[in-house]
Structure 1
Amino acid sequence: MASALPSVSELDAAELVEMAGNTEDLVIIDVRSAAEFESLHIRGSYNVPLPLLSEHTGRLAERLGSRVVLVCQSGVRAEQARGHLAGAGVDGALVLTGGVPAFAAAGGDVVRGAQRWSLERQVRMAAGSLMVTGLAGGRFVSPKVRLLAGAIGVGLTFSAATNTCAMGQALSKMPWNRTAAEPTAQSAISQLPAAR
């Protein structure tokens, strides 16, 4: 027997843990990269990376019913996906608060694979390293090197203001983040159950 989804746009991890075992028509879409999905994902979830979802929102929306939960690492990419789907008529999609790690911490059924750093952690490491390099280089090499730290600060501010991340998009294309095969539009859409 299916239970009703709450009428809010966010869903707590503990609520999803409870719902996941009691509903057969719930569709959980993981919008992280294939490499992130491979390292840890909710059992039974479908991998549709955010760039793919953004590009083929209409086709995906046709396939989805009203019982959709979007997940990522923290909730930021899932919220972006929710916005895309809402624009295509899927108004009831929910975003898992705290992402897949929160679901795992709440005792949810997850599949663990090869462990990698999350994309958000890689962004923090890259941004922090570049800022330290800019500040140290400005002190010991040339004051002009401090511009690197300033540019990273501007990029982070822009990222927060627009809820996008150019550094994350660039890092997602790095070889260590592409070890798993990214799904194609056809494979992502065909894996989803037909809307009821």
Structure 2
Amino acid sequence: MNTQNLSPADAKSLLDQGARLYDIRETQEYAREHIPSAVSLPLSAIENGARAENAGENDNVIFHCLSGMRSGKNAELLARAAAPAKVYLMDGGINAWKRQGLPVDKDNSQPLPIMRQVQIAAGSLVLAGTLLGYFVTPGFLLLSGFVGAGLVFAGLSGCCGMAMLLARMPWNK
């Protein structure tokens, strides 16, 4: 099974001709911002066996993510999920779509993606620990070290305690 890459402009053209567009980003990412005709089909669901609905051999199916990285890395999996349809991957994802000036639906009332929340929280804690360590007492530098150790652990294990904690916050429900 093979896939073809196409530009956002070519994707728009195929969509106008009846192709189906699937957004493989996670549900929270989709809820915050998505291409109007896109259907949410998260990569995690595809990995668990979800498929593009009613994809026949005469159909054109386009997959996209945020930047094109997830789509590209999982091209074979996506092709199987839409078989026997002809499968396309949109170069540059929704970011390239927006750079082309094409429309997106936004809902700013939705929370930021968890990883952005982790970046904001971790960066704020490191900054606070560094400033307090410099201006108040060096003991506060341990806060920055603790956050750094947590990020290293998350990178090595694939398990981020801060992300799990933030996912349980009321604004993420």
TM-score normalised per structure 1: 0.58
Contact preservation (8 Å) 1:32, 1:72: yes
1:46 aligned onto 2:39: yes
1:152 aligned onto 2:151: yes
Structure 2 equivalent of residue 20 of structure 1 = 15
Alignment CA distance shift 1:35-1:138 (3 Å)? same
Structure 1 equivalent of residue 55 of structure 2 = 64
The residue identity in structure 1 corresponding to 2:139 is V
CA distance in 2, matches of 1:83, 1:137: 50
The residue identity in structure 2 corresponding to 1:141 is G
CA distance in 1, matches of 2:128, 2:74: 34
Contact preservation (8 Å) 1:17, 1:107: no
Contact preservation (8 Å) 1:29, 1:45: yes
Q: How does 1:120-159 map onto structure 2 within 5 Å?
A: 120-132=115-127, 140-141=138-139, 145=143, 146-153=145-152, 155-156=154-155, 158=156
Count of residues paired in the alignment: 163
Q: Tell me: higher relative CO, structure 1 or 2? Use CA pairs within 8 A at least 6 residues apart.
A: 1
CA distance in 2, matches of 1:30, 1:168: 26
CA distance in 1, matches of 2:160, 2:89: 22
Greater CA drift, 164-173 or 124-133: 164-173
Contact preservation (8 Å) 1:79, 1:95: yes
**Percent identity of equivalent pairs:** 26
Alignment CA distance shift 1:94-1:118 (3 Å)? farther
Greater CA drift, 42-51 or 169-178: 169-178
- Structure 1 unaligned runs (5+)? 1-5, 179-196
CA distance in 2, matches of 1:76, 1:119: 18
* TM-aligned CA deviation for residue 97 of structure 1: 2.9
Contact preservation (8 Å) 1:31, 1:70: yes
Compute the RMSD of aligned alpha carbons: 3.9
Contact preservation (8 Å) 2:55, 2:61: yes
- Structure 2 unaligned runs (5+)? none
TM-score normalised per structure 2: 0.64
What SS does the corresponding residue of 1:56 show, helix, strand or coil? coil
CA distance in 1, matches of 2:162, 2:69: 12
Contact preservation (8 Å) 2:118, 2:163: no
Q: Deviations over 1:128-168 (max 9, x none)?
A: 33544565677732665414313314534x49xxxx78579
* TM-aligned CA deviation for residue 28 of structure 1: 0.9
